[in-house]
Structure formats: C-alpha cells, structure tokens
Amino acid sequence: MLLGSTRIADTFAEAFGLRYARLVVTAHDAHWLEAGLAALCGYGTSVIGCDAEIGVERRLDPTESLDGRVGAAVLAFAFDAERLGAAVGNRTAQCLLTCPTTAVFDGLPEAVDRLPLGGHVRFFGDGFEKSKVIEGRRWWRVPVMDGEFLVEETVGVAKGVGGGNFIIQGRSLPAALAAARRAVDAIAAVPGTITPFPGGTVRSGSKVGSRYAALRASTNEAFCPGLVGRVATEIDPEASCCLEVVIDGVDRDAVARAMVAGMRAAAGPEIPAIAAGNYGGKLGKHHFHLRELLAAVP
C-alpha cells in the first residue's frame, strides 16, 4: 500500500488498556494557563518510567469553560485507577495549586467511577478551606496568596487505550522531523487523544524487555539506523532516520482516527516508509493494522 510515494508497511501497532481522567484547567489569561499546563504535563511521557502519560487534549474558549476564562482539557493515563489518582492528585497539588490564578474542574462529570482530587488538596487550606455543592458537584475553595484555589472534589475515571503508534522513516533527519510535526499537528485536531512525548514525538522507540535484567524496556534496535548491518532491521533501504509518534486516546476509535490522520499528514516524497511498533501481540489486546486502518477510516 502507498500513500502517495510513501510505502505503508504490512504491520500493526500494538496498544493496551489504560485508565484515564480529564482535567479542565482554567486561568486568568493565556500566560498563566500555559505556565500551569507546562508544569502539570511535565515528566509525563511514558508509564514505563513516569507516574502518568499526560498531555493537552485541546484548548478551550472562555465560552466553553465553567468560570468563563481561558482553559484547556488535559488527559492523564495510567495503568490503574489507584496510580492514576495518585498522579493526578500530586500533579494538581504541586503544579496547579502553586500556579497563580488556576482552577481545576472535572472533565468527566458523568463518570460513575471517581477519584479524589480537591478532597485531598483542600487540606493545604489548614482548616480555612470552604466547600460548596452546586448542581450535585462539590467544589473546594482553598485560600492562597492571590485569593483562592478552586478545585473540584473528585474527578471521573474511565477506560482508555494507550500506545497507538506509527514510525516515520525519513530520507534525512530534517525530513523525518518535518513529517513528525505535520503528524502531531494533525492528531491535535482529533478529539479524545494526546501525543504525550516531547513535541508529540519519540526518538527512543522501545521494545519490551532488555538484556539488562533491571530494565522493563530497551531500545528498539530494528529501527536504529546506526545498527543496520549489525542486527535485523526494519528500516526502508531509502531511509536514514526513524521517529515514532505515540498516541493515547479515550477509546479505540479515537486512537484509530488519530493514527490515520497522523500517517496521512506525515506521508510525502521524503518519507519512503511508515511502519509501527509491536511486540508480537503479547503486550496489548488492541492491534491497529496500518493498511486496514487507512482503508477503513475516511
């Protein structure tokens, strides 16, 4: 299969189930919103070594937020609800409670399963915090130096999908970088998805396991150009550089649509091939066959 001149490898991306929460963060203006988001989403690339995979789903217009201010919806993913709750609570307390003017709302109010949020953070108020219930949702007002930190008591949790991916193979590093940026920009327009790695892109694509017993994952040597000739390779003969785009989504359909949008945007004359990372089907139950996706998704 070809996308223009780009060959689509006959392979699949292997993804797995995760739990996710959606936080809605608002602030006085765009500057303080971006400051809070940068802190909140920092060190949130991979559950291999981070407490959560986290990123901005989309920015919100003031007319869309509950308090009429600029905001953003943020998705956070972890292996289970307990770890997700700890990550979301810690990041809210350390990164948003501390950021001037921010407030935090639950982005999944309809979810039955709940995690504590303001119910933990409120204790920073040292007894001066106050709560209010509006339309069945409880809010905490924690006194801070710029006024108060408004935070919802709980946040919803639901089942999502993590690890959707495709691997861009470029004729050169600049070509691969440009293709990755096109892909990430296209995915940003797909609701219910994030690309949690730096700039949405991974240069250190991994495989499960390592020859070093202490490591759960290690470099995916089949896509390392410096190892061609030393190991079995999956790099196209015309490519000299590979970059991976990893996608987390609220469900399988969201990940599929994001993968298609990203691959279509990445393809071009300087991208001889697009492949994907999998582990023989042993890691996750969600298998996204690249050619089938491109044929099925409009």
| Domain ranges for the chain | 2-15+159-296, 19-158
Task: Please give the pLDDT value at position 297.
Answer: 75
Task: Please give the pLDDT value at position 84.
Answer: 97
Please say whether the beta carbons of 72 and 32 come within 8 A: no
CATH number of 19-158: 3.30.70.520
> Which alpha helices (DSSP H) does 130-207 contain, by range?
173-187
* Average pLDDT score over residue span 259-273: 98
Please say whether the beta carbons of 286 and 14 come within 8 A: yes
Task: Please give the pLDDT value at position 250.
Answer: 98
- Please check the confidence at residue 63 and state whether its pLDDT lies above 90: yes
Residue with tokens 């940003």, as numbered in its chain: 188
Q: What percentage of the chain carries pLDDT values higher than 90? A: 93
CA 257, chain centre distance (Å): 15
Task: Please give the pLDDT value at position 135.
Answer: 87
Sequence-separated (6 or more) residues with CB below 8 Å from residue 69: 26, 27, 28, 62, 103
Cα–Cα dist 248/255, whole Å: 6
* Average pLDDT score over residue span 218-245: 96
Task: Point out the least confidently predicted range of 58-62, 73-77, 213-217, 228-232.
Answer: 213-217
pLDDT band at 98 (very low <50, low <70, confident <90, very high): very high
Q: Is 19-158 in the same CATH topology as 2-15+159-296?
A: yes
* Average pLDDT score over residue span 44-69: 96
> Which alpha helices (DSSP H) does 111-237 contain, by range?
118-121, 173-187
Furthest CA-CA distance within the chain: 66
* Average pLDDT score over residue span 215-239: 95
* Average pLDDT score over residue span 130-154: 95
Task: Please give the pLDDT value at position 160.
Answer: 98
Task: Please give the pLDDT value at position 283.
Answer: 80
**Conformation bin of residue 62: beta by default, left when phi > 0, alpha when psi is -120 to 50:** alpha
CATH (one of 1.10.40.30, 3.30.70.520, 3.40.50.1100, 3.90.550.10) for 2-15+159-296: 3.30.70.520
pLDDT band at 279 (very low <50, low <70, confident <90, very high): confident
Residue with tokens 């990203």, as numbered in its chain: 262
Counting beta carbons within 10 angstroms of the beta carbon of residue 80, is it exposed (0 to 12), middle (13 to 18) or buried (19 or more)?
A: exposed
| Residue of higher predicted confidence among 41 and 281 | 41
Task: Please give the pLDDT value at position 19.
Answer: 98
- Please check the confidence at residue 282 and state whether its pLDDT lies above 90: no
Cα–Cα dist 261/154, whole Å: 34
* Average pLDDT score over residue span 54-64: 97
Q: What is the pTM of this model?
A: 0.95
pLDDT band at 256 (very low <50, low <70, confident <90, very high): very high
- Please check the confidence at residue 6 and state whether its pLDDT lies above 80: yes
pLDDT in tens, 100-117: 999 999 999 999 999 999
Closest CA to 15 of 160, 178, 126: 160
Task: Please give the pLDDT value at position 281.
Answer: 80
- Please check the confidence at residue 201 and state whether its pLDDT lies above 90: yes
